[in-house]
Chains A and B, each alone.
Chain A
Amino acid sequence: MSAVLDPPTPSAAPAPPGSGPAEPRTTGATRGLLAVVLLLVGLALVSLASLAWGARDVAPSAVWDALLAPVPGDNDHLVVRDLRVPRTLIGLVGGAALGAAGALMQGVTRNPIADPGLLGINSGASLAVIVAIAGLGVSSTSGYLWFAFAGAAVAAVVVYGAASLGWEGVTPVKLALVGAALTATCTSVITVVLLTDTRTLGEYRFWQVGSLANRPLDVLTTVLPFVLVGLALALAAGRVLNALALGDDVARGLGQDVVRGRLLVVTAVVLLCGSAVSLVGPIAFVGLVVPHVARSIVGPDYRWIVLLSMLLGPVLLLAADVVGRLVVRPSELEAGLVVAVIGAPVLIGLVRRSRAVAA
């Protein structure tokens, strides 16, 4: 006797496309929008803090005046316009670049411990800066700028090229391994130079911790076009990363051109991370921690993760800069040092709490 099957009930009919099962998609988008609004508010607040607080506290009304109706000769206005506005802007741009680059790296390598420096970009830039200091006697941040950018670009090209050798082309694992290999080699060379040349060490150690201070505004204006192109590419790459997240074969089955998609993402990473390292030095941690926070808010949709990372990055970086200015007044701690101290507990808290990260 065969079992009696229930006639299909209306609730068992295939759901209309676009609505999906009861929760995820709508809630993810709502949470994303809410997060974006909150982050924009947070960004405004932290920028204000960056303009107002420091070795010398400036009242918000004075900040407002300094921006809109500056009085020459007023020290407060001077501090705000000449020192803090460039610093804040650099923090905003650098943080956005690092956050987006980190999200892209984690997406393209399918690896939650990827950071923007994984492609060897940071070590390539560092080696170029060493060459600039030791070989050519450059000693200002704007001087390092083009070296860092060139070093970053060369490193990325070498890594991508080496990873594309072999019959299977570029895969996430190969990218990560070649990037780590380049980092190892560059670090050895850098170490030899630093151990033998005290003057170079004296300058390099300050660049290497990563800081928002002492960077003139023209550094920012030079780098800004690259960052803007990179951010645009990053936003476009969200869809590509969603497709790649399920594996190359599934991505191809979904119609995604895997090679071109990966190339797009890597180009965006190079533009963003290269600009960031030229601006603020090698601060990789922002790119590591911020996508995880984003993922815990909006889930696995990379279009939202990239967008939120773009906003979370500056919040973290500027917050670190402000804290660095406040804790050891009147001197200050570099933002790159504080970023890890703030970010690591966040990361560890996320790791402990969330089961999703354990995968």
Chain B
Amino acid sequence: MSAPVLSPAAADRAEREERHEVASRGLRATRRRRLRRRSVVTVVLAVLAVVLSVTALMLGDFKLSAAEVLRTLAGQGEGAAPFIVMELRLPRLVLGVLIGTAFGLAGALFQSVLRNPLASPDVIGISQGASAGAVVALLAVGATSGFVVPLSALAGGSAVGLLLYAVAWRGGMTGHRFVLAGIGVAYVCTSIIGYLLTRSDVKEAQLALLWMTGSLGQADWSLVRTLAIAMVLLVPLVAVVARGLSLLLLGDEQAGSLGLRPEVTRAAVVALGVALACVATASAGPVAFVAFTAAPVARRLLADGSLALVQAALVGVVLVVGADIVAQHLLPADLTVPVGVVTGAIGGPYLIWLMASGRTRTA
């Protein structure tokens, strides 16, 4: 039998509807694929983070098994395990997790809003400002304990952040202006640090250098608790600006026409990035390259052009905890180094990989 005869208008409509159905089916399939990839990547990263964390708690002079570690965490440890896990290793691990999250998010925020994969808190002076503050506290004031050094580092980093904000204010925060001003300020901070390093006792200079390398060694519960409170305040703010940031990536005009105020959003994102970088640096020193690498790696894994903030945080955690395991336990000749040395050493091959894979723009 022949097909039902339709009037021309109806046939037109039917064809259009069929095309629409095919297109939306394709769109749904793409969305489902993206969502699946996103979930897979996020879950894999989370599992990796957990595995590394448990491993970090197991390794050390006094080796524990995974079962013992898990039992201790659940409150049922016995013997020396509770002390070792809860007092010695867990603070260090939690510090590492918080640092990794903070640096990962800060790097992602900076690189997205400044649209430059070379613009991380390391480069634009925040790390150097925090280091200058800490070195002043360590060498000029002679403080070694308590909260003086972290507070001083926080003050230094925030001062640089505010200065950059003031410099970039009228001209806007995009492009090379901001980065150049940051580099200038970074060099001034480096001068201050150099001056103090050459005018102090060599042993103290070595302590200062240790701090500046980025280390989880001074983790204790009071420090971790303070950092955790700061993170609890800052991380929800990241969720708030994330939507605005995704719109910003469309370009100022598009974003503006969608009801966003680009300059305000950009300032808020930068301020948040600076705050995260500052609290993290104040707690553990400027751990090299975490902020720089976490976001590009996360975005490459997701490969869908999105901001990848959650994934960047997870990559940061994996990086810091993994590097600390290597730094403490996996180096030859019983050498232990601060975590910053390992992350810095990772930075080299990572940059080479970036270059070899050919893509150097964000996403």
Contact = CB atoms under 8 A, between A and B. Distances in A.
Dominant secondary structure of chain B at its interface with chain A: helix
Interface in B165-183: 167, 170-171, 174-177, 179-181, 183
Interface in A308-358: 333-334, 336-341, 343-345, 347-348, 351-352, 357-358
Interface string A96-130: 00000000000000001100000000000000000
Given A177-B351, A181-B349, A336 B194 contact: yes
- A: contact size bracket: 35 or more
Contacts of B183: 113, 288, 347
Contact of B354 (A177, A337, A339): A177
B72 interface: no
Interface string B329-354: 00000010110111011011111101
Contacts of A174: 355
A213 to B, nearest CB: 12
Contacts of A113: 118, 176, 179-180, 183
Interface stretch (B15-23, B99-107, B144-152, B185-193): B185-193
A165 B353 CA distance: 12
B93 interface: no
Nearest to B176: A112
Interface residues of B, number: 50
A190 to B, nearest CB: 10
Interface in A155-206: 162-163, 165-166, 173-174, 176-178, 180-182, 184-185, 187-188, 191-192, 194-195, 198, 201-202, 205-206
B13 interface: no
A347 B184 contact: yes
Nearest to A211: B198
B195 interface: yes
Given A178-B351, A195-B213, A201-B206, A188 B195 contact: no
A185 B345 contact: yes
A296 interface: no
B94 interface: no
Nearest to B338: A195
Contacts of B338: 195
B50 interface: no
13 contacts: A165-B356, A174-B355, A178-B355, A180-B347, A202-B205, A205-B198, A209-B191, A209-B198, A340-B187, A348-B181, A351-B171, A352-B167, A352-B177
Interface of A: 112-113, 162-163, 165-166, 173-174, 176-178, 180-182, 184-185, 187-188, 191-192, 194-195, 198, 201-202, 205-206, 208-209, 285, 288-289, 292, 333-334, 336-341, 343-345, 347-348, 351-352, 357-359
